[in-house]
Amino acid sequence: MKFHVFVFVGVVHLLSLNCGKAVYGNGISQRTFQEIKEEIACYGDVAKAIINLAVYGKAQNRSYERLALLVDTVGPRLSGSKSLEKAIQIMRQNLQEDGLENVHLEPVKIPHWERGEESAVMLEPRIHKMAVLGLGSSIGTPPEGITAEVLVVTSFDELQRRAPEARGKIVVYNQPYTSYSRAVQYRVQGAVEAAKVGALASLIRSVASFSIYSPHTGIQEYQDGVPKIPTACITVEDAEMMSRMASRGSRIVIQLKMGAKNYPDADSFNTVAEIIGSKYPEQVVLVSGHLDSWDVGQGAMDDGGGAFISWEALSLIKDLGLRPKRTLRLVLWTAEEQGGIGALQYYQLHKANISNYSLVMESDLGTFLPSGLQFTGSDKARAIVEEVMCLLQPINVTQVFRAGEGTDINFWIQAGVPGASLLDDLYKYFSFHHSHGDTMTVMDPKQMNVAAAVWAVVSYVIADMEEMLPRS
């Protein structure tokens, strides 16, 4: 996942939910909701069939095995890279061979940035070669690097207070990790804020919940009118060490070399497959994850897992011979990590049809054992989703949280379409996020089975109900 729309700030707002007792909002009669409840309850056997196939049956571990094969074969899939385009072509073939319908690629333009060779060496107070990862979209340094004294700060406020000290220095941010959404602001805006006070470069403490000396990359953003300076992430360990050194009065000097370059936008594709609706084929439940990743690790967790349980959801439904009334559309986004670039172009192309989107779903926060579903939508729609989640009692994943979101689906959600995302262990997720450690080792086939079952039941039932989800 990228950064900017992640509004989840540590505390989960759990909507109280007792299966079969959800309270429907105003504006629709109690009787009508009773009918909807009865309609949903009829899906009990279908839900059990999906669960049995995904978790205990022939399909178990399939999404894990499919994902392992792809990411072992192509590795990470950075926007603009050949490996991303190779992955897209493989996925088109996979989806066709799986027997899904209307498999096609929708062309888009995406950013092309390459990190090149990079290094950061502490020269004073002692020689220390630091782990470093340039941030996406950062410019490089001159070939000889930037060698400068360091100013360590723990916040933008401290940077402002100490602005006169920053000129000509490398600013090191040692911001605490209180939540991802707070800490990530330093990764995104750290270079701009440092440049405003005359710094030559900025190094950001990796935005991570846990570290074994692991740098975590991600996108950063320049601002018009502010000089562009090179920026990279360092480890939590080195940021803390420099903070200690600075507090003891030690002079710290770093040599930073980055070969990063931005190239003209590249050609890429959103990858689409469907199960076409039997009764309202023009109406859509969109199920998605993104196929691109950062250029480290394997992009297995972010977002291979989300992409592959989304594919798995359609596979399960197809394997059971089910065809919902509405079209189930799988979209594997491209260039999510650069800010939902592929998804924005998809939205612009398809938004004329927005009234036909019943629900947009994206899994991009891990596919570990799900805590439940995050949902954004009207109270009426939420009540329906809560009823649907009751169908997942056999695997004990029934909770519905606030703030359904996803970089790629937020365009639709902000325009009023109900949106759902999968929630699981965020501490674990942000231990590996955007690091070399985002590999298949993180993934658990049994957890992916459960996540896929949740994804399939929700998407199928919402796509098959007689009415679309009500909007505000």
Binding site residues, a second copy, CB under 8 A: 68-69, 72-75, 125-126, 128, 131, 210-214, 236-237, 240-241, 244-245, 248, 297-298, 431-432, 435-437, 439-441
* Ordered DSSP codes for 107-128: EEEEEEEE--SEEEEEEESS-E
Q: Which is nearer to a second copy, 60 or 421 (CB)?
A: 60
CB of 260 to a second copy, least distance (A): 17
CB of 62 to a second copy, least distance (A): 15
Half-sphere exposure of 443 (CA within 13 A, CB side): 31
Q: Which is nearer to a second copy, 208 or 454 (CB)?
A: 208
| Contact in structure between 342 and 270 (CB atoms under 8 Å) | yes
Q: Which is nearer to a second copy, 68 or 200 (CB)?
A: 68
CB of 436 to a second copy, least distance (A): 4
Sign of CA dihedral 440, 445, 446, 447: positive
Tokens standing for 108? 């888009």
247 CB neighbour count, 10 Å cutoff: 9
CB of 240 to a second copy, least distance (A): 5
Rg (CA), the chain: 23
Q: Please tell me the distance from the alpha carbon of residue 86 to that of residue 93, in angstroms, as a whole number.
A: 11
Q: Which is nearer to a second copy, 70 or 328 (CB)?
A: 70
**Beta-bridge partner residues of 327:** 284
**Catalytic entry in 193, 274, 336, 337:** 336
Respond yes or no: is residue 336 known to be catalytic: yes
3-state secondary structure of 29: coil
Q: Which is nearer to a second copy, 242 or 275 (CB)?
A: 242
> What is the residue whose two structure tokens read 């990279």?
232
CB of 160 to a second copy, least distance (A): 27
| Contact in structure between 361 and 430 (CB atoms under 8 Å) | no
* Ordered DSSP codes for 214-279: --B--B----TTS----EEEE-HHHHHHHHHHHHTT---EEEEEE--EEEEEEEEEEEEEEE--SS
Q: Please tell me the distance from the alpha carbon of residue 334 to that of residue 292, in angstroms, as a whole number.
A: 5
3-state secondary structure of 7: coil
CB of 467 to a second copy, least distance (A): 45
Q: Please tell me the distance from the alpha carbon of residue 451 to that of residue 443, in angstroms, as a whole number.
A: 12
Q: Which is nearer to a second copy, 13 or 248 (CB)?
A: 248
Tokens standing for 337? 């990590």
Q: Which is nearer to a second copy, 62 or 323 (CB)?
A: 62
| Contact in structure between 382 and 375 (CB atoms under 8 Å) | yes
Tokens standing for 384? 């329906």
CB of 152 to a second copy, least distance (A): 13
- Which residues are designated catalytic? 336
